[in-house]
């Protein structure tokens, strides 16, 4: 390939090389007609849409992308790229109240445009009012685009911002990662090599496009390699998880990407009658990323779907983050999951070592090795010294895929993107991921937690996920995956453990809160050797979570401090 400078050039090349080939296919819910876009159609409609954008905005201005699942998003997204308008994918806010960060995102990126589809505009007339009168709304519409001439703007260069990716971190201060065309092309090429992809590498996905994984794996990567991307609505997967696998079989898809929970859900909802005739032998890359990869899940999924041709060798754990465009480490193609059994006690002290007993053993799954073209370092966050293999530290990343920073946020950019290793005088900038992990001797990365959520009691590091699991196992009335453990400083500045935990609806007479609290205290004390400062048992569905289902511990702590938890 000759050197490409932007995703716009790439789309033009795909359109001229094989314009008639199908690029995207959308499988709607129920029996609505499937929609498709060829490479040529996408190129033409994106350029026509760009012309519409440029009547109301100039290159460099921001455009919110608010879409229901479907191909209109793809047209609008590439329309923004062709116009040089910076797209900002956003989850359409839920109808009723609900926490989300859309108001904060709008305040942060001050968009000129809001782009949407006719179906969402009709279903949600409230959005225009909610988002303020300053926005010009433009609806993707085939008939209007058919009458447009392609926009003529200078093609973007590799350093130009392609879009802003708002991370789903804290709601109060969202940060927009400025992903450039150069970042995209660099990361896509690394992924292509790691996954051994070709123009025949069809993928089937349902992860929402306002998440980095859905956008990259469902839209950008397929376009980059010139392969078909089959897209499903997220709700369609949640309602009928096996439809994902059926679609993988139907299209002989080679690539399927999802967070760990999705693989669990497929195994949970397995029904032989729904899997009849499904052939998964074509699936060579089942990417598991975006949340901790669980050994139990990987084994269970492979076992459940082996009769349908799924091979465990296709299991493809990976690690990445929006600040690095998407992917940082990935498994060896065709090698399957790599895991080891390590000591829980040693891990708490920041080391990977052999377990001393069965009770001390914990299975951890590797997220693969750093992709060719990037560098990774495990660093002591305080001294900024690199750590040797099998020592836990903060994961630092460097490479052409690392974004230049956060939108209009020089402080956060400096702190996160411009880190330097101690004693390193060559001036190399590193991205601090905020994630913790260790490398084994072969260079495989094991992600073990998040630096900010770490609970340090008497010099011992505790991962909140572990304590939460203990809490949830302490009593059947406690909801799995719906608890938060965090540290607060007491009057003496000593870190104390606070637990927030949702309670299942239970028999009125059977639910003795004192008994439950007592069991929790006992379990946490005996398994983690920590005395609990406070236990807040709260109503179901009142714990804050991100749109991707991650527990928001910082927000839970804030609610606890402000006394705003819905205690039972």
Partner 1 sequence: MARLKTDATEAQIQDWCCTYLARALRLKAEKIDRTATFASIGLDSAEALFLVSALEDWSGLDLDSDTAYEHPSVAQLSRFVIECIQAQSPGR
Residues at the interface with partner 1 (CB under 8 A): 29-31, 95, 233, 235-236, 238-240, 476-477, 504-508, 539-541, 549
Residue 234 or 282 having the CB closest to partner 1: 234
For the record, the structure tokens of 74 come out as: 């793809």
Q: What are phi and psi of 222, to 5 degrees?
A: -55, -40
For the record, the structure tokens of 304 come out as: 């459940």
Residue 98 or 493 having the CB closest to partner 1: 98
Residue 193 or 511 having the CB closest to partner 1: 511
For the record, the structure tokens of 362 come out as: 């914990």
For the bound state, the minimum distance from the C-beta of residue 96 to partner 1, rounded and expressed in Å, comes to 8
393's CB contacts (< 8 A; 6+ apart) are: 350, 378, 379, 380, 381, 386, 387, 436, 437, 438
For β-strands 285-288 and 255-258, DSSP reports them as parallel
**96 CB-side CA count, 13 A:** 0
Residue 19 or 233 having the CB closest to partner 1: 233
Residue 239 or 383 having the CB closest to partner 1: 239
For tokens 């299991």, what's the residue? Answer: 315
Count of other CB atoms within 10 angstroms of residue 98: 7
Closest CA to 59 of 70, 68, 51, 67: 51
Closest CA to 165 of 101, 228, 225, 238: 101
* Rounded Cα–Cα distance for residues 236 and 221 (Å): 22
Whether 291 and 260 have beta carbons less than 8 Å apart is answered as yes
For the bound state, the minimum distance from the C-beta of residue 25 to partner 1, rounded and expressed in Å, comes to 19
Whether 366 and 398 have beta carbons less than 8 Å apart is answered as no
Residue 234 or 404 having the CB closest to partner 1: 234
For tokens 């299975």, what's the residue? Answer: 363
For the record, the structure tokens of 443 come out as: 């260079």
For the bound state, the minimum distance from the C-beta of residue 235 to partner 1, rounded and expressed in Å, comes to 4
For the bound state, the minimum distance from the C-beta of residue 306 to partner 1, rounded and expressed in Å, comes to 25
The DSSP string of 130-187 is HT-TTPEEEEE-HHHHHTPPPP--PPPPTTSEEEEEE-SS-SSS--EEEEEHHHHHHH
For the bound state, the minimum distance from the C-beta of residue 277 to partner 1, rounded and expressed in Å, comes to 16
Residue 29 or 424 having the CB closest to partner 1: 29
Residue 458 or 508 having the CB closest to partner 1: 508
For the bound state, the minimum distance from the C-beta of residue 438 to partner 1, rounded and expressed in Å, comes to 32
Whether 33 and 80 have beta carbons less than 8 Å apart is answered as no
For tokens 């910076």, what's the residue? Answer: 86
For the bound state, the minimum distance from the C-beta of residue 479 to partner 1, rounded and expressed in Å, comes to 8
For the bound state, the minimum distance from the C-beta of residue 130 to partner 1, rounded and expressed in Å, comes to 18
For the bound state, the minimum distance from the C-beta of residue 309 to partner 1, rounded and expressed in Å, comes to 25
Residue 352 or 538 having the CB closest to partner 1: 538
């Amino acid at each position: 390939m000759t050197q490409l400078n932007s995703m716009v050039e790439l789309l033009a090349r795909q359109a001229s090389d094989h314009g008639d080939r199908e690029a995207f296919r959308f499988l709607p819910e129920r029996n609505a007609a499937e929609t498709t876009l060829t490479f040529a159609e996408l190129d033409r409609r994106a350029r026509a849409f760009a012309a519409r954008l440029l009547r109301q905005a100039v290159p460099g201005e921001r455009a919110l992308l608010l879409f229901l699942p479907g191909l209109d998003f793809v047209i609008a997204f590439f329309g923004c790229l062709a116009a040089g308008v910076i797209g900002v994918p956003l989850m359409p806010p839920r109808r009723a109240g609900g926490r989300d960060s859309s108001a904060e995102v709008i305040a942060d990126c001050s968009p000129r445009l809001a782009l949407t589809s006719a179906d969402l505009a009709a279903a949600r007339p409230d959005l225009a009012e909610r988002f303020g009168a300053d926005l010009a709304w433009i609806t993707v519409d085939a008939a209007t685009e058919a009458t447009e001439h392609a926009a003529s703007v200078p093609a973007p260069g590799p350093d130009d911002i392609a879009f802003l990716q708002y991370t789903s971190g804290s709601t109060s201060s969202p940060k927009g990662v400025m992903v450039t065309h150069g970042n995209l092309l660099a990361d896509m090429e690394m992924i292509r090599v790691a996954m051994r992809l070709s123009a025949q590498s069809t993928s089937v996905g349902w992860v929402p496009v306002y998440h980095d994984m859905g956008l990259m794996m469902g839209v950008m990567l397929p376009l980059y390699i010139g392969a078909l991307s089959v897209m499903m609505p997220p709700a369609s997967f949640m309602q009928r998880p096996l439809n994902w696998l059926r679609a993988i079989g139907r299209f002989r898809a080679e690539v399927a990407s999802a967070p760990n929970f999705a693989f669990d859900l497929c195994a949970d909802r397995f029904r032989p009658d729904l899997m009849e005739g499904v052939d998964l032998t074509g699936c060579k890359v089942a990417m598991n990323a975006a949340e901790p990869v669980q050994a139990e899940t990987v084994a269970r999924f492979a076992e459940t779907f082996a009769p349908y041709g799924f091979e465990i060798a296709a299991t493809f754990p990976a690690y990445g983050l929006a600040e690095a465009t998407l992917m940082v480490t990935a498994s060896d193609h065709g090698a399957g999951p790599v895991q080891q059994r390590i000591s829980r006690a040693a891990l708490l002290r920041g080391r990977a070592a052999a377990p001393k007993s069965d009770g001390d053993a914990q299975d951890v799954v590797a997220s693969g090795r750093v992709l060719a073209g990037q560098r990774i370092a495990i660093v002591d966050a305080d001294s900024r010294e690199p750590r040797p293999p099998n020592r836990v530290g903060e994961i630092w990343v460097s490479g052409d895929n690392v974004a230049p920073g956060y939108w209009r946020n020089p402080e956060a950019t400096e702190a996160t993107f411009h880190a330097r290793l101690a004693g390193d005088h060559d001036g190399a900038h590193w991205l601090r991921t905020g994630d913790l992990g260790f490398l084994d001797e072969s260079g495989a990365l094991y992600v073990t937690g998040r630096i900010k959520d770490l609970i340090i009691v008497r010099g011992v590091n505790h991962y909140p996920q572990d304590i939460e699991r203990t809490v949830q196992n302490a009593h059947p009335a406690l909801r799995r995956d719906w608890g938060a453990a965090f540290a607060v400083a007491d009057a003496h500045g000593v870190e104390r453990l606070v637990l927030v935990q949702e309670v299942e609806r239970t028999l009125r007479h059977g639910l003795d809160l004192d008994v439950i609290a007592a069991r929790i205290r006992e379990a946490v004390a005996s398994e983690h050797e920590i005395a609990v400062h406070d236990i807040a048992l709260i109503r179901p569905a009142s714990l804050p979570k991100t749109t991707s289902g991650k527990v928001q511990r910082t927000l839970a702590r804030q609610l606890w401090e402000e006394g705003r938890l819905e205690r039972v």
